[in-house]
């Protein structure tokens, strides 16, 4: 982690301290960790184990798939149930977080 990023982190934390932000600074990291048992730590799934990796996927793709799962318009064995656990805002946060992880 370089200095620039640390500075940006601090900026982000300051931003988060605004009115909308009673949220823990690591809220999204923690939320994303609920997906890791299936999609891998930080979204890096074990290659060849049949689970879809999420790390470094396009943010829009992740978000739209989660919306489709939630709406029941995308075929699923399990994600239609899991996706209902998260709000629009949380889906946005999750998609941004996984998109920002290294593949």
Partner 1 sequence: MLNRRDFIKTLGATAGVATLGGCAGGASKARGHVVVVGGGYGGATAAKYLRLWSNGSVDVTLIERNTEFISCPISNLVISGDKALADITVSYEGLRKWGVRVVHDSVLGIDAEKRTIKLEKGGEINYDRAILSPGVDFLWDQVPALKSADAQAKILHAWKAGPQTVALRKQLEDLKDGGVYALTIPKAPYRCPPGPYERISVIADYFKRHKPKSKVIALDANPEVTSKKGLFTKAWDELYKGIVDYRPNSELRDVDVANRTAILEFDKVKADVLNVVPPQRAGDIVAKSGAKLANGRWAEVDWLSLESVNAKGIHILGDSTLSAPLMPKSGFMANQHGKVAAAAILNLLAGEAPNPEPFMTNTCYSFVDAKNVIHVASVHRYDAEKKTLIVVPGASGVSAQRNEIEAAYAIGWAKNIWADALA
Q: Which residues inside 52-91 make contact with partner 1, applying CB under 8 A?
A: 59, 77-78, 80-86, 89
Nearest residue (CB) to ligand HEC, 19 versus 75: 75
Is residue 73 near ligand HEC by the rule CB under 6 A?
A: no
By a kind-dependent CB cut-off of 5 to 8 A, residue 65 interacts, out of partner 1, ligand HEC, none, with ligand HEC
77: Cβ–Cβ under 8 A, 6 or more apart, which residues? none
Pick between residue 29 and residue 73 the one whose CB is nearest to partner 1. Answer: 29
- In whole angstroms, the minimum distance from the beta carbon of 63 to ligand HEC comes to 8
Q: Is 82 in the site for ligand HEC (CB under 6 A)?
A: yes
Around 42, how many Cα atoms within 13 Å sit in the side-chain half-sphere? Answer: 5
Residues in touch with ligand HEC (CB under 6 A): 34-35, 37-39, 52, 54, 62, 65-66, 76-79, 82, 94
């Amino acid at each position: 982690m370089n200095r620039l990023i640390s500075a940006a982190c601090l900026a982000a934390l300051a931003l988060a301290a605004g009115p909308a932000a009673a949220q823990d600074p690591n809220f999204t990291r923690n939320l994303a960790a609920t997906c890791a048992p299936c999609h891998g730590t930080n979204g890096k799934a074990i290659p060849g184990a049949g689970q879809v990796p999420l790390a470094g996927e396009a943010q829009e793709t992740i978000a739209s798939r989660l919306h489709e799962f939630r709406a029941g318009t995308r075929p699923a064995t399990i994600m239609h149930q899991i996706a209902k656990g998260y709000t629009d805002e949380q889906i946005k946060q999750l998609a941004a977080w996984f998109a920002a992880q290294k593949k």
